[in-house]
Structure 1
Amino acid sequence: MAAASATAPAAAAAAAATTSAPHVSSEDSLWEDIDNASVSELMIPELFLGLPPVQDVLATRTSEQQEETLQALMPYLAADLSNKFNYNKHGIASLERPRLAIFLKRILSGLPSPYYAADASRPWFLYWCLGALALLGEDVSEYRDGMVKTARYLQNRTGGFGGGLGHLSHLATTYAMVLSLVIVGGQEAYEVIDRKAIWEWLSLLKQEDGGFQMAQGGEVDVRGAYCATVLISLLGLPLDLAPISPLKSKVDASFNLHTKLGDYVRRCQTYEGGISGLSSAQHSWNLYYDPVTADYTKWEASPYKFTGEQIFDEDSRVNTSHPVYVLPPVKVDDVIGYFSKKQGF
């Protein structure tokens, strides 16, 4: 756990804001009347807390697999996990590091054919698995060559990465792919990223209200603001709009990739609190805020100091993750340092 003092564009989401008095709908009142206890009781119907009342006696491959699945799931459904995990005196299960590492590496070695339905999520599988292995302290450099080859397949000449081979570039998959390359690290992984093309592509996605499209012709939401900001920062991209940007003829010369970004994120705050996917332009309520600069350049983080007793075992502790980039801090420093030393692209 880390406590951070915000000094980056994405931090504008936490800016103080006040809204007009919210209208409390009948639906809001309904949810307020439902307490936590009644919700938890309804989470798992009683029918599913025991074995099925009717089971086929004919033994087939399907019925055998169904029985295996039932036996694996029943302890979880019935909340009887005393024999499944090792618990400490606080009732907290220990992190089974070796088994988790094996599971993650198995996914990275290849997935079976049914996963073709998730073909557009390839970069996310890579990021989740590599990120988790890094948190466990595993050496992920062995995946560098494979990551570089995969990046070449998924990268488009027009900038950014698609989710699968031949897919159009998308900000979310580009974010996941770039972070995966940063996790494995090394010059070859950094240099496979076409930074100039990404800069030009981001200039096409930039909107006059400060936000970013997720893809050319795609939706504009708060994800784009975050993903674009991370890419600009990690890759050391210029803030000026590329010459191919359609905004060049609509805005003044000072308009850049960060312009109005903080304002856009603040407009995504809802009257209930928190951040919605869309800006206030798609809402029927008004938001008023105090101007706060979005031109932050540095984050500082320090371990959170618990005042009470630690309830998890020290063996279950994982490595630190950067509060902004969701990467090992040493990886963040390395990639930013690498690109800051380069002259141009």
Structure 2
Amino acid sequence: MSRETIQIQIPDGAIGQRLDAILSQQLPDYSRNRIQQWIKDGRVTIDGTVCKKPRQALLGGEKAEIDAVLEDSTQVEAQQISLNIVYEDDAIMIINKPVGLVVHPGAGNPDGTLMNALLFHNPALREVPRAGIVHRLDKDTSGLMVVAKTVGAQTHLVEQLQRHAVERIYDAVVVGNLNQGGTIDKPIGRSPSDRKKMAVRAAGGKPAVTHYRVLEHFRAHTRIRVKLETGRTHQIRVHMSNLGYPLVGDPVYGKRFRIPKRMDPEFVEYLRHFHRQALHAGALSLTHPVSGKVMKWKAPMPDDMLELVDILREDIELFHEQQLGYDEYDYDNGVEVEWVTDDDIPDY
């Protein structure tokens, strides 16, 4: 835990304004939530008197002193774990997270996480809350994440995430013939029947918006690209499952295993043993917290998803060679395929 004493002269023009609002203006490197917590914890004095009310009105001209406390990661062990660093400067890092890497230590995963790896790569991240991690990916979701290297950068990135100003685009493969793109605008909350799962909840859920577009059709599956407007836990997995098109391999939100008729047995086995959600965070765009420049990164799908797509393409070829009609599908709406490549597909 690091501590710093900050002294501020309240502007004379702050008469009648809230304490937390003025401190947020004077301390742009710290989030308003963090400042409010310092006030509630009694770490802020006004002219020598402790103030615990964030809403307290100011007179202007007072002297404020803040005993700023930042939680660090001293309880988390630094571990030498390989990181795929796509980009790094003094303020941020962009990581391409592999499948199987947990982001934070927790129950069942006390170490071997991204946080352990970050602390080994850069011990100074102990001074940044959560070692600079500002958002997460599920253990078995691969792809791009941004990590803040300073408290100021973290505050700016969190603010961008709250404004939905960080663009995150995913590649996914779903079960079923999804013929057109669309938007899912349904609130998500904790499942009332299973507290380990999330669910679409009309009452008590938080707003969640997912945009998706179709990239490629297969006999009984569809490759899609997804853009998040919000970032709820398991959002894509929950929304697509609720729509009736769960992600291939999703062990939590997937439905009954289904395959098209007369699929090659080797292909069936590959699909049967694809034991992780076919989801990859392939594109990330944000405003750099220091330069103000909009920056974008892309990461290709990992080998397992590339192989999945190849198998589904080969299945169509074999299906045509056998001269089977589309009426043999397990699904009702088989579609003739017009091949496209990633190079032909514009970003959102």
- Tell me, yes or no, whether TM beats 0.5: no
Whose RCO is larger (CA < 8 A, sep 6+)? 1
Q: Pick the TM interval, shorter chain.
A: under 0.3
* Structure richer in strand, relative to its length: 2
Name the TM-score, length of structure 1 as normaliser: 0.23
* Structure richer in helix, relative to its length: 1
